[in-house]
Structure 1
Amino acid sequence: MFFNSLAFAVFLPIVFFLYWFVFNKTKNTQNALLIIASYYFYSCWDWRFLFLLVFSTFLDYYTGIRIEKSSTEKGRKFWFWLSVGVNLGFLGIFKYYNFFSTSFAQMLTAVGVKASPILLDVILPVGISFYTFHGLSYVIDIYYKRIKAEYNFVDYSLFVSYFPLLVAGPIERATHLLPEIKVKREFDLEKAKEGVCQIIWGLVKKVVIADTCATYANAIFDNYATMNSWSLILGAIYFAFQIYGDFSGYSDMALGISKLFGLDLLRNFNYPYFSRDIAEFWRRWHISLTTWFRDYLYIPLGGSKGSKAMQIRNVFIIFLVSGFWHGANWTYVTWGFINALYFLPLLLLSRNRNNLEAETLKWNFDSVGIIGRMLYTFSLTCIAWVFFRAKTISDAFLYLKRIVVNREFSSQYLLNERYNYELLLMVGVFVLVEWNNRTKEEPISGKYNTVKMALAIVAILAFGTYSDYKEFIYFQF
């Protein structure tokens, strides 16, 4: 069940009505309804994996209590590593086993040893990377005595399985979401209105921008060997806006849906394509994952302390692991490696913390430099996205090579590129709207909000009717 599906358009109002008008007596009844709704939502993908979600939930709930109650450090470590090991074990089997088996067989073949990979016929459970990280952060925080264990199984289950964030985040922390879950929510009309506005704007990003760009990006990447330089550049740009509209659109919808139920989720995007360097980009892109790796991997490794060599090591580890988290393919690892290379000069020159505040443009020469740095950072990001999108590393290099050696910048016809210039205009308008929205709490708010809402709904219906692309990219992670 996708957020942009008719099934969800029926599901959400029903849950909303039951939540506020039937199960609104106590916090426990509200949470119980949301768990039932979340389990139903997840079972719509594949009901068999619901048992894995329930088992993972019970594992971390139980081990969290055992860690807190253990009187010895040995006992605490046992329950901690049991939780971490089982969680990462499930993630490894379902997401990475076939990748490692195939890679090992290829390595043996390369050195002259014939080998065939032993593969498992398994389907990747949707959202496993996200709910696994929810549980891991909870157990880690208990082990290091940052939080107390949650003894209410219903409350903890909702923290892990809450349907707006279950399959593609944001990756929540127990310190943020559990306190909200543990109190009864009262209906707030203004918050509900904000939620509706955020849902609609997320749908605009997904249906109007991401899905439209996907049609063109897919055609160009799938036929890159016959494309000229201009088409390949457009393909990279289209994919950049596809993945941004797709993932930030989902995040906006998740936050908006959650507001309908009186709960606030972590912000996951902060206009990353207006970043002035790669460090700023990563403070603005997929914020919940970036901060997760910062707090649970980068800082424990030593972070920015120690020698430059250790700092460089830590940067490469966190970017490589981040790339590998996205999928079992060397293209994702390469994407992470490239971003680490981008980050390295900023680290060595101690400029990785330079752009912490949002910049405003004025009619002066300094603004030209700011725009130039934004365009430069966006260009670097698009190059890295080529590796993220390509099927193999070789395809990515050949794609980039053709941009350089082809040097043909004439308009190239593709059957589904008949509205190429119109799409460029639409993307340009979207960028201007995003720039205007960057200082606002809610994009569709303020003056003429009714007109904005009506235009957004018309655009969603118009583009959604003719769009064949429905899935969210991050559902596969």
Structure 2
Amino acid sequence: MVFSSTLFLFYFFPAFLLLYYLAPTKLKNSVALTASLLFYAWGGLNFLALFLASVVLNFFLIRRMHPSVGWQKRIYLILSIILNVGMLFYFKYANFFLENFSAVKTSLGGGALTWEKVVLPIGISFFTFEKLTYSIDVYRGVNKPLRSFRDFLLYIMLFPKMIAGPIVRFHEIADQLTDRKAFETIDHKLAGLFRFVVGLAKKTLIANVLGQEADRIFGLAPAELSAPLAWLGALAYTFQIYFDFSGYSDMAIGIGRMIGFQFPENFNNPYISRSITEFWQRWHITLGRWMRDYLYIPLGGNRVSPGRLYANLWTVFILSGFWHGAAWNFIAWGAFHGLFLVLDRLFLLRLTKRLGAFSIVPTFLVTVVGWVLFRAASLGAGLAYIKQMFAGSWAELPYFNQEFRFTLVLATGIVFGAAIPHVERAGLKLLFTQQFALRRAIPLTLLTAVLLILSISYIVGSSFNPFIYFRF
């Protein structure tokens, strides 16, 4: 169920909020959990029993781990990691390894393998990371394990963030799972509603419009792509994925606020970054922090020799690419970003510092090229597309309708307008404010109503409403 669907907006979400607000405090978690189970079952009923079984086993493993010491404690942690990573590996990567093994076997003269394709459960990448963070946080003594299985299941399955994040680490909302009274205020609910509607508008009014043309251009054969058209398609997708994914994160954070949860931020104007290092401090922030704290630092972090540090950076980002998708183009995308992170450490950061604000341009262009690898159907298709970007003919662009042209200009203005410090501060203040005086609440409510009406009008009148990160 997509947040921007009529089913969610007109039926599921209003019914959930009504029941949640009417429920007494002691039943609010039960209402939220029931809604989350229904939300997941709508798109993944076949996997619900298996998923619940893994959560139950993980819960009791960690309960046994907490009072243990020494090697026994480590054994319980290892079992939990094997359980969670093993499920992710099987469901997400089994097809990838079998396909590649079959291709190698065929190239050596053997017969191709046949197997029943493994279906990918919705959101498995995100809730696997959250189960891992629970296990590791308890092992490290950051938090004690939850006493209630209902609260633990709610942490894993809370529907606003379960399918596509933000990746919420256990210690960030451990206390809120049992007591949210401080955040269940009118101001928080108003701020949450505004944040949700902003995200909905970003998704429907910008990402969807650009996505239709991006899909059409990426669907063309390389021979049909001129260099300007290839760059235009890459640019459209670059803006589409940002407004799509950041819009979803805004909606998730907004729903969380409306019911008393404070989820971490996931985006901070990433396209005004002056280096790829800064880009990854602004893009998918919760994933970057997870990789840093649970992978990069355990590998040695910055406390190792330069050669080992560069190898660690590259390893982390190759794994990050593989986490996004079981295909070579995702691995190449991760390696591409890893390369520029290493180059940043070697010399690029010194160069971009000299360039100042002008370094936004080359950083953005590197990001655009990387997104082509991410968007392409395969690594070969991605490389062929990039070739046309740099070596294609310079034919005149075909006609694009006014809606697309206006939306592209609007997206460009929003993205790069944030490079002006005053504009960025004003935008962040508006999104993050949690207390509203009446003189601010009234215009904010009117703006929310206008954006909501426009977004719903688009949803009702269009059949194009994908969500990019559902496949991850």
Q: What CA distance in whole angstroms lies between the structure 2 residues aligned with 1:151 and 1:448? A: 44
Aligned length: 458
Q: Which moved more, 1:178-187 or 1:278-287?
A: 178-187
Assess, with a 3 A threshold, how the Cα gap between structure 1 residues 77 and 432 changes in structure 2: closer, same or farther.
Answer: closer
Q: What CA distance in whole angstroms lies between the structure 2 residues aligned with 1:282 and 1:51? A: 36
Q: What CA distance in whole angstroms lies between the structure 1 residues aligned with 2:471 and 2:309? A: 31
Alignment pair present for 1:86 and 2:70: no
Q: What CA distance in whole angstroms lies between the structure 2 residues aligned with 1:90 and 1:212? A: 36
Secondary structure (helix, strand or coil) at the match of 1:430 reads helix
Note the 1:42-61 alignment, pairs <5 A.
42-61=40-59
Secondary structure (helix, strand or coil) at the match of 1:268 reads coil
Tell me how far 1:168 sits from its aligned partner. Answer: 0.5
Q: What CA distance in whole angstroms lies between the structure 2 residues aligned with 1:434 and 1:35? A: 38
Aligned to 1:372: 358
Aligned to 2:30: 32
Note the 1:181-220 alignment, pairs <5 A.
181-185=177-181, 187-220=184-217
Alignment pair present for 1:273 and 2:261: no
Tell me how far 1:103 sits from its aligned partner. Answer: 0.7
Aligned to 2:17: 16
Matched-pair contact (CA < 8 Å) for 1:276–1:373: yes
Per-residue CA shift, 1:300-334, capped at 9, x if unaligned? 00011211110011001100000000011000000
Matched-pair contact (CA < 8 Å) for 1:212–1:467: no
Assess, with a 3 A threshold, how the Cα gap between structure 1 residues 433 and 191 changes in structure 2: closer, same or farther.
Answer: farther
Letter in 2 for 1:11: F
Q: What CA distance in whole angstroms lies between the structure 1 residues aligned with 2:395 and 2:443? A: 41
TM-score with structure 2 setting the length: 0.91
Aligned to 1:4: 4
Secondary structure (helix, strand or coil) at the match of 1:223 reads coil
Aligned to 1:404: 390
Letter in 1 for 2:452: I
Percent identity for Structure 1 against Structure 2: 33
Letter in 2 for 1:98: N
Q: What CA distance in whole angstroms lies between the structure 2 residues aligned with 1:433 and 1:307? A: 40
Secondary structure (helix, strand or coil) at the match of 2:143 reads coil
Gaps of 5+ in 2: 434-439
Q: What CA distance in whole angstroms lies between the structure 1 residues aligned with 2:144 and 2:405? A: 56
Alignment pair present for 1:430 and 2:417: no
Matched-pair contact (CA < 8 Å) for 2:105–2:112: no
Per-residue CA shift, 1:105-126, capped at 9, x if unaligned? 212333x231323433332110
Aligned to 1:63: 61
Assess, with a 3 A threshold, how the Cα gap between structure 1 residues 165 and 269 changes in structure 2: closer, same or farther.
Answer: same
Aligned to 2:246: 248
Q: What CA distance in whole angstroms lies between the structure 2 residues aligned with 1:6 and 1:58? A: 33
Assess, with a 3 A threshold, how the Cα gap between structure 1 residues 312 and 16 changes in structure 2: closer, same or farther.
Answer: same
Q: CA RMSD in A?
A: 2.3
Q: Which moved more, 1:139-148 or 1:126-135?
A: 139-148
Per-residue CA shift, 1:196-238, capped at 9, x if unaligned? 1101100111001111111010000000421211111010011
Secondary structure (helix, strand or coil) at the match of 1:300 reads coil
Matched-pair contact (CA < 8 Å) for 1:270–1:438: no
> Which of 297, 300, 306 matches 1:299?
297
Letter in 2 for 1:76: K
Tell me how far 1:288 sits from its aligned partner. Answer: 0.7
Note the 1:88-103 alignment, pairs <5 A.
88-103=85-100
Alignment pair present for 1:141 and 2:137: yes
Matched-pair contact (CA < 8 Å) for 1:130–1:167: yes
Q: What CA distance in whole angstroms lies between the structure 1 residues aligned with 2:446 and 2:361? A: 32
Q: What CA distance in whole angstroms lies between the structure 2 residues aligned with 1:462 and 1:75? A: 58
Gaps of 5+ in 1: 356-365
Aligned to 1:421: 405
Secondary structure (helix, strand or coil) at the match of 1:442 reads helix
Alignment pair present for 1:389 and 2:375: yes
Tell me how far 1:465 sits from its aligned partner. Answer: 3.4
Tell me how far 1:451 sits from its aligned partner. Answer: 4.7
Aligned to 1:324: 322
Letter in 1 for 2:408: L
Matched-pair contact (CA < 8 Å) for 2:267–2:285: yes
Tell me how far 1:448 sits from its aligned partner. Answer: 4.2
Letter in 2 for 1:86: L
Q: What CA distance in whole angstroms lies between the structure 2 residues aligned with 1:350 and 1:331? A: 25
TM-score with structure 1 setting the length: 0.91
Q: What CA distance in whole angstroms lies between the structure 2 residues aligned with 1:224 and 1:372? A: 34
Matched-pair contact (CA < 8 Å) for 1:199–1:254: yes
> Which of 108, 124, 127 matches 1:128?
124
Per-residue CA shift, 1:357-381, capped at 9, x if unaligned? xxxxxxxxx9xx5442112111100
Q: What CA distance in whole angstroms lies between the structure 1 residues aligned with 2:157 and 2:377? A: 32
Aligned to 1:361: none
Tell me how far 1:443 sits from its aligned partner. Answer: 4.2
Q: What CA distance in whole angstroms lies between the structure 1 residues aligned with 2:128 and 2:405? A: 43
Aligned to 2:436: none
Aligned to 1:363: none
Assess, with a 3 A threshold, how the Cα gap between structure 1 residues 438 and 206 changes in structure 2: closer, same or farther.
Answer: farther
Matched-pair contact (CA < 8 Å) for 2:95–2:118: no
Aligned to 2:283: 285
Aligned to 1:154: 150
Secondary structure (helix, strand or coil) at the match of 1:313 reads helix
Q: Which moved more, 1:127-136 or 1:342-351?
A: 342-351
